[in-house]
Amino acid sequence: MKRTVKFGLFPKKDAECKPLRMRVSYDGFRVDFRVGYSIEPEKWNAEEGRVVANARNKFRQTAGEINRAITSCQEGIEAIFTRYELLEKRAPTPEE
């Protein structure tokens, strides 16, 4: 099943530190999830979908810690889709 998983910043006005978002698009659906971390826009590499190396957010969380969480989210989504494809023979609903 074709799908895309992209990471970005939630567009939160007047916030110096913006929450990270994982957007999953498939079958005409677009579902957004919070990653659980925030980062300043100047420390975010939109092209790579990762925090710039050696950066820290205002909570002193490191780029490595945040980027590992992003990777973990991506692996989790892939596992969910694999399970549905192999066992359920269908796509998950956005609620699932």
Give me the amino acid identity at 73.
C
Give me the pLDDT at residue 61, please.
97
**Whole-angstrom distance, CA of residue 36 vs CA of residue 64:** 14
pTM, whole model, 2 decimals? 0.91
Chain segment 3-23, per-residue pLDDT in tens? 999 999 998 777 789 999 999
Chain segment 59-90, per-residue pLDDT in tens? 999 999 999 999 999 999 999 999 999 999 99
Q: Which residues of 55-74 are buried (b: 16+ CB within 10 A; e: fewer)?
A: bbbeeebebeebbebbeebb
